Chain A
């Protein structure tokens, strides 16, 4: 079997941000379920946190292609 081991590396690297994004949206859904009128305040915060957590996965993607 031939291939590129860095692909697996990227897969592993994506686990962390994935869990982070999951936790952020879980907290967001929890908050909105408890207090629906807070949705407008929570939404930008949730999206902001999601964007920051996601940046880690994007870094890994770029590093993967830089290495090529």
Chain B
């Protein structure tokens, strides 16, 4: 196998991955040694998900530039496809969640997020790669950090630093309950929202990948047993096929949900005073 192919393909010649465990996702390609960070030893490395992410960014840039460079009023086939995806994010997500008054500045951000997450999720089932980038918690955290900064930034910009906290508090509450509600709202704004946003994407990709590994590698292990167990591998692989189709749906849905929630947080920070 050529070294470039080895960077993308699953590690087929390694020991069996059955039963799968979280170490499945740690696939370093080039190691640079270890550093001591917050008391725990961490390995600096270029990993397979990083290479996949770079690859998807390159492919997405090529796709977008190639289909929109000669943009015309009567679109070509490629341009029409790109516009369909763009319209889905612009009208279906951004305009619905943020409102038609000030959704336009956020459309590029949301569109980039959507295509990047969608393509990276689908890398989990596209044959030569078959590894969801977002199955490593660092990638969803980085994306969530962007959303986190954006919605707090525009919230503070619109309401002012003190007004932002005032805005979290619904009006017309009795005075004695205000501190408790403010504490709850701050927990939602600063902890629960980013935590669930990152963990939802991560958890779905992580669990989905493990599920596919169970059926595909499990079927292979059964096949190797010989005799009656080899026959059982057939239903296992049929199940693997069904699960792959199901995963394609889940992966699309998670990209959609991530961007939908990001848009709703942005829209929530932009609404006028209660």
Partner-B contacts on A (CB < 8 A): 44, 47-48, 50-52, 54-55, 57-59, 61-62, 65, 68
Contact = CB atoms under 8 A, between A and B. Distances in A.
B253 A55 contact: no
6 contacts: A50-B257, A52-B196, A58-B199, A58-B202, A61-B203, A61-B206
Contacts, number: 40
A47 B207 contact: no
A47 B253 CA distance: 9
Given A51-B200, A55-B196, A61 B207 contact: yes
Interface residues of B, number: 19
Interface of B: 22, 92-93, 96-97, 196, 199-200, 202-204, 206-207, 253, 256-257, 260-261, 264
- Secondary structure type dominating chain B contacts: helix
Given A55-B196, A65-B22, A47 B256 contact: yes
The 9 closest A-B pairs by CB, nearest first: A58-B203, A55-B196, A51-B257, A61-B203, A58-B199, A58-B200, A55-B200, A62-B199, A44-B96
Contacts of A65: 22
B155 to A, nearest CB: 19
Contacts of B202: 58, 62
